[in-house]
Amino acid sequence: MMLQIYFWPNVILHLDGDAFFSSVFQAVNPNLKGKPVVTGSERGLATAVSYEARKYGVKRGMLTWQIKKICPQCVILESDYELYSLFSHKMFGILRTFTPTVEEYSVDEAFADIKGLRRPLSMSYLEIAQAIKNKVESSLGISISVGVSITKSLAKLASSHQKPSGLTVIDGRNIEELLAQTKIQDVWGIGPNTTAYLEKFNVKTALDFVLKSENFIQSNLSKPFYEIWKELRGEKIYELDTRGKQSYKGITRSQTFTPSTNSKDLLWARLSIHIEEAFTQARKFHYLVGKISPFLKTQNFEYHTSEIKLKEKVAYPYLIRKKLREAFDLIYKKGVVYRSTGCTISGFQEDNLSQMTLFDKDQKLEEKIKKIYPLFEKKKIDFGSMLFDKQRSEKIKHKPRLNLPILELMQ
């Protein structure tokens, strides 16, 4: 044995949802169980692929027409981020019933520190991991994979070791076997370019990588890869970020459409929907938004974009409707044909950190909006979605009203 490491210097658990987006749909629609399921129809490509669909060769990023060709029986669904968020919140909530030290790494992944829980829970680390796995899967009806090891990098490798629905526990004395079975390209943080570079030095597995000398790593690679090298050798470098929602830096919503168009009305209508969707996601995390960057992409893949910086952050786009329209008018160019619209919002602040004054002239308006928007989010109000229905769009004879959807209620 080349790596001599104390049995459990640290205990990090990594939880990973298996084909999470498609698995969530299978959980809420029992008739989809066992069937090939793909999400992403709204973008025209696969954003998530169930394990049943993968057996037919369906891969993430594949276009929907390609999917139908190789797997005609595949069920292709529109993404539902509200549903994903609900499952994610419940999954991480279950994890926190075992330990408060949880990092929400992504919507379907989390790290947790479970060191010191064996005595209070009267279970081994393997039993703790199994209990977490069982509770998530039985409560939510989805499949997850769990890995436990002594660093975040090793725990992430462990969770990927027996997917789907795997459980792998690797203590400090048994990491070499895991590393020997892991291809270098499967190491968290090592991409295709670095993989190709390392293969020139005959580094093909994670074990080959960690057995390289410290001098070799520092001389040939940058600091991030030196940190990965240390993590894989069992030295804890990456601490858990338990700040959760604070780690979200921005939210983007966009869509490419066919055929491309120069219609100012249609482009504004589509952009309005993206703005609403992005703000809806921000409100789920209780964020106020300080910066909005709408954009249009041309047929030549050039971006026309603008940026709105707000002195007072907002939760609802209606409150800045004039600024949004002005930004759109600024980036729209007559005579240019566009293939997609979208926006990115950022500059977040927790909603509870902002307090309106008693005499704020917009206070009554915002209170009214707060009552109306939930109906919009739950789709209890239709704001004219037929503009985006390909089969019905050709039947529209009148000029549509093209304010932000919520404005229809406020006028």
Neighbours of 27 (CB within 10 A): 17
User: What is residue 47's DSSP assignment?
Assistant: S
386/104 Cα distance (integer angstroms): 37
Tokens of 153: 């990098």
The answer to whether the bond into 164 is cis (omega within 30° of 0) is yes
Where in 224-307 does DSSP place strands (E)? 250-261, 287-298, 303-305
Beta bridge partners of 167: 146
Say which residues have a Cβ less than 8 Å from residue 336's Cβ, sequence separation at least 6.
Answer: 262, 298, 304
User: What is residue 368's DSSP assignment?
Assistant: H
370 phi and psi, to 5 degrees? Answer: -60, -30
267 phi and psi, to 5 degrees? Answer: -65, -40
- Catalytic annotation, pick one of 52, 103, 104, 109: 109
Where in 347-405 does DSSP place strands (E)? 349-350
26/34 Cα distance (integer angstroms): 8
Sign of the dihedral defined by the CA atoms of residues 331, 400, 281, 67, in that order: negative
CA 321, 327, 331: angle at the middle one, nearest 5?
Answer: 145
Which stretches of 29-151 are DSSP H helices? 51-54, 64-70, 81-96, 118-121, 125-140
Q: How many residues does the chain have?
A: 411
Are 285 and 245 a contacting pair, CB within 8 Å? yes
Tokens of 276: 């609403």
Q: Residue 299 in 3-state DSSP? A: coil
CA dist 23 → 111, 136, 215 (Å): 20, 13, 45
Are 49 and 60 a contacting pair, CB within 8 Å? yes
In the annotation, is 109 catalytic? yes
Are 156 and 147 a contacting pair, CB within 8 Å? yes
Are 113 and 101 a contacting pair, CB within 8 Å? yes
- Catalytic residue numbers read 109
